[in-house]
Structure 1
């Protein structure tokens, strides 16, 4: 007989209205069914037309299915019975259906647990027996792992059973098999005889050693019957035993512990404790006081009672402790409290200084000669700082506006005085000096809590320290300029530090408050003279409290100086207007504005470090842009040319979900969508 499929509508119905749904039309329909080796896709289309369900069939799922009645006759079924028969036929062929939204996917049973099947909780009704679902069972009395081992032997092919501590089982299988597991679980999950729980403190021995002895000795393995149960657990931190079981066994175990837990003189055991965060030398020093008080009976606050020796091992950052079990446990409690992760503090300091200097100088010197050549009268005025009118060569080394005029040289007077003297002379110098300085220093440093850190940035500058006798002799026999040169060349010179220094010690308190002990100083070269550089120093030492990320003003100075100096000839320099010929005027105006800011940042984990690195890298990039122009390169932490970014991964996930048939998409290339056809009248 050639394979065929027959589906007859036996119940007569009235012609459907245009708006009637498929479910309404099939509600009272009955079907005569006879299938022999029908292809899965064709059978799924027939079932879809009869049940108004839409199926997804992958090209990888193939097979021929038969569904016949007794003696190869046809079956008369309603839509619900027909769907149940279809699921049973799929189950025989190793297939099943999994709900995906409003659609149903036909897959191999071993792959069912890889799909998002419906999850049922305790008390929820089961769907059709052949469907694959997940059921969450909550154990009330039975132990988790032994129960899972028993039920795992009954899980069908392609099913799964997962134990979730402390008392949950998640089973994925067909509904029929899950109903079997539920019935068996009701038998297994029954209350046992009442157990008692006792907590026993071990004072001298090691709790783990006693637990092993109690487990082996208290419960003998009697053949031929099931022994009573006793569970012995150890709390190593408090050196206690937790006994759970029958009251007789618990009482017997308590007696055995009391006999074994006795003090043994000289029972010291060497143990190694590896520190995770703290320094071994610091912890050993902190515990020294405890071990010293141990030898004094009744010492207040003593936590150890015997002879204890503690040695710090620096290469391993560990403590070697020789002590009894009880003393070791007491020390471990103290060590664990001290060995805590140390937080770090990133401290940013900004030093802003603005210096404005304005200096003007006006100097005028004059001279003249009267009388005869035999009795010359030389008069003149040369205020301090003004150029000499006797020799215009003095103007060569000046700055600013320079002007001068001289009369003819008087031979007789020149011979009498030993140098050239002109009949008259005038020398003028007018100079103004402007100096603006805007200094911005931003030292920053990373340090751990309660640890002092220091950053120093500077240079070594030569300073004149003294001179030799030869230099002093040259000073007496040469001019001022030559003397200065001689002093600098023959004198002793030392190199001194001119630096910016920041020393800080942070203390992190509650509520993310940071107390900072700060010692900050800044030195710089502010000028130069014939003897060497002139330095200025600004320093402060203080202690402040700031919130995490809060900016504080540590200190500052605002200075405004206006100095006017006059060098003049007495009486003549006071004459109105004409007095300018006999005086030298200097006017200097200085303004200084200095502010010091500080901002602490608590570093809690690696992500805070990453943010600081990116922030400082970005600041450097902006500095390069302002200085050299263009855009400086930046190496991203992740190479997105080789690795997808988070937005790309999100877009791919959304696109993949939108392509799924249950979401209205076209499905994958190997999927075939089978939907109900037009309902027959």
Structure 2
């Protein structure tokens, strides 16, 4: 008997699944599996168009057709076309937007909204979201779709007669789908793949700044004369107050209050000699000299370590600083004008500002879009009439790092040396004696700023709990080394000393559970010898060590 070939289209069941069912039935019946002979049956699944290719005798093909007719039916739970998908990890609103764009063959932007979909709010107070009634294309892979919406009937029919409606219930984080049975297979597969746990990234930054300023000043100024014969002054302005200020104070009168007030503005060691008196005509005559010497040094070692945890592909920001007001404008009254004076203020964030967006790759690398800003108000600029002066260091970059790899984002190394000298021409160059006619002011400024960044991928809840416990332990170590009287018991060199048992103290480094009251936590001894101590003389209450 000659074999025949027949194509059997499927409507509801997947082609591969149908082929498995047919093969199992034919094999159990003892037909179609014999090698050779006239009863050989071949079944091929065409997954691209959901159909079966059957080759065999007409009798065998007829039996297969009968099996397909009985098996290719819609499951009972999907006859109504209504499903509620309760999500575990993903956002209901985001999944609903993705499904609408998928079924309507529309592109989804970064915010998760489609370009042509319309929405209507729900009247039910127990759920929120948008009810979208759209028509899908005849095939999910088609390149164009005719979308129709209806705000009155609540249903719509698209090309191929496949209506669908998707509602996002944000209160229960669920997606309600009403669609044709043939679409429900695709929707269920999409939801199962999209509703997965997203990895998180812990970004730890270290901002190290070391700066120092050194300045030296040495100068001699002198003045002499009277109102009749004239005055002689050696005056320099690079070492603070000048000799002319002191001379003017001396000429103002016999009181030393003016001279003392003028001399108080000179920093450093000050040696002054001189005298002033009135002659027979009542004119003031004076002589005097000022020797000023100053050596100043300023150093700073700043270390800031901000850290932040965020989801993959989500922007995270952390700001540690102050909101400082800046005067942007003012209005004052003049004359008899009745207008009220006022100032306009613009507040800006000053401090450490970290903005980052992590992107985790399949190979474990992390691409980071980083914006790191370090700013501060310059000391002494508060009373500046033109406004506050701020220091600002800003880095905007995109880097690629491995998991737990420390990256140096960038930095600045600055060395500024300034030398200022004022002298009397000729006399200031004479060895030894020239020092009486010269003033020197030298300053050196050094600043080193480096910013480090380390991403750590946290893929499950255990990794997050481990990081949280480590951070909490660091804070508890610093907290418990100080008793209630403010006395430092012992400060470990690092937070790991407590865990390794190197801290010789009778107090605990970490409670069993910080959320459980002390009275509910039973004490017990530990391998490190830590025990509960409630002595009134100890000044602290401790907890047993939990491992």
TM superposition score category, shorter chain reference:
0.5 to 0.7
Residues 468-496 of structure 1, C-alpha deviation per residue, up to 9 Å, x if partnerless? 7799xxxxxxxxxxxxxxxxxx9877654
Distance 1:571 1:281, change over 3 A: farther
Residue 443 (structure 1) aligns with? 306
Residue deviations 1:621-673 (CA, integer Å, cap 9, x gap): 444549962157533336997498999xxxxxxxxxxxxxxxxxxxxxxxxxx
How far the C-alpha of 1:607 sits from its partner, in A, is 2.2
TM-superposition CA deviations, 1:177-205 (whole Å, max 9, x none): xxxxxxxxxxxxxxxxxxxxxxx996248
From the superposition, tell whether residues 270 and 367 of structure 1 become closer, same or farther in structure 2 (CA, over 3 Å): same
Distance 1:469 1:254 in 2: 95
More helix by share: 1
Q: How does 1:652-671 map to 2 (within 5 A)?
A: none
Q: Where does residue 595 of structure 1 map in the other structure?
A: 450
Matched, 1:358 2:214: yes
- Relative distance call for 1:206 and 1:444 in structure 2 (3 A) is same
| Counterpart Cα distance in 2 of 1:606 and 1:590 | 49
Name the SS for the 2:489 alignment partner: coil
**Which one of 511, 517, 520 corresponds to residue 372 of structure 2?**
520
Compared CA separation, residues 298 and 409, structure 1 to 2 (3 A): same
Equivalent position of 2:97 in the other structure: 285
Aligned to 2:361: 509
User: How far did residue 320 of structure 1 move?
Assistant: 2.0
* Equivalence map 1:417-566=2 (5 Å): 421-463=284-326, 495-529=347-381, 530-531=383-384, 534-566=389-421
Separation in 2, partners of 1:344, 1:414:
87
Question: In structure 2, what is the Cα distance between the partners aligned to 1:358 and 1:286?
Answer: 62
1:395-451 Cα deviation digits (max 9, x unpaired) = 123321012122223458986xxxxx5421212322222111000000001111111
**How has the CA–CA distance of structure 1 residues 261 and 423 changed in structure 2, closer, same or farther, with 3 Å as cutoff?**
same
Find the aligned partners of 1:560 and 1:435 in 2 and give their Cα distance.
Answer: 14
Hey, what does 1:383 align to over in structure 2? 236
**Are residues 254 and 297 of structure 1, via their aligned partners in 2, closer, same or farther at CA, if it must alter by over 3 Å?**
closer
CA distance in 2, matches of 1:276, 1:261: 32
**1:221 alignment partner in structure 2:** none
Distance (whole Å) between structure 2 residues aligned to residue 430 and residue 506 of structure 1:
55
The residue aligned with 1:334 is: 190
Equivalent residue of 2:392, what SS?
A: strand
- 1:630 corresponds in structure 2 to 489
Residues 376, 494 of structure 1: CA spacing in aligned structure 2 closer, same or farther, 3 A cutoff?
farther
Residue 278 of structure 1, CA deviation: 1.1
Which of 310, 314, 321 is matched with 2:170 structurally? Answer: 314
Does residue 272 of structure 1 match 2:127? no
Query: Does the CA contact (< 8 Å) of 1:206 and 1:325 recur in 2?
Result: no
Residues 477 and 509 in structure 2, CA contact (< 8 A), matched pair in contact too = no
Inter-partner Cα distance in structure 2 for 1:599 and 1:557: 19
Change beyond 3 A, Cα 1:645–1:292: farther
**SS of equivalent residue, structure 2 residue 223:** strand
Provide the secondary structure at the position in 1 that maps to 2:188: helix
Identify unmatched segments of 5+ residues in structure 2: 1-7, 19-49, 52-58, 106-134, 146-158, 250-258, 335-341, 491-506, 528-547
CA contact (8 A) 1:386 1:584 kept: no
1:457 CA displacement: 0.7
Question: For residue 487 of structure 1, what is the aligned residue in structure 2?
Answer: none
Is this contact kept in 2: 1:526–1:536, CA < 8 A?
Answer: yes
In 2: Cα distance, 1:433 partner to 1:277 partner? 60
Cα distance change on mapping 1:645 and 1:604 into 2, 3 Å: farther
Consecutive unaligned residues in structure 1, runs of 5 or more: 1-199, 211-238, 241-247, 416-420, 472-489, 648-681
Give the RMSD, CA atoms, in angstroms: 4.2
Contact 2:241/2:263 (<8 A) preserved: no
Please identify the structure whose Cα radius of gyration is greater. Answer: 1
Change (3 A) 1:467 1:359: farther
Q: Secondary structure at the match of 2:163?
A: coil
Counterpart-to-counterpart distance in 2, 1:413 and 1:311: 105
TM superposition shift of 1:608: 1.6
Distance across 2 between alignment mates of 1:289 and 1:414: 100
How much has 1:349 moved relative to structure 2? 0.8
Decide whether the 8 Å contact of 2:413 with 2:448 is kept in 1: yes
Task: Determine the structure 1 residue equivalent to 2:115.
Answer: none
Name the CA distance, whole Å, in 2 between partners of 1:465 and 1:414: 54
Matched, 1:255 2:89: no
Paired with 2:461 and 2:214, the residues of 1 have a C-alpha distance of 51
User: C-alpha displacement at 1:522, in angstroms?
Assistant: 0.9
Q: TM-score by structure 2 length?
A: 0.60
SS of residue in 2 equivalent to 1:527: coil
TM-score (norm 1): 0.49
Q: Secondary structure at the match of 2:380?
A: strand
- Counterpart secondary structure, 2:189: helix
Distance 2:281 2:330 in 1: 40
Q: Which residue of 2 aligns with 1:395?
A: 263
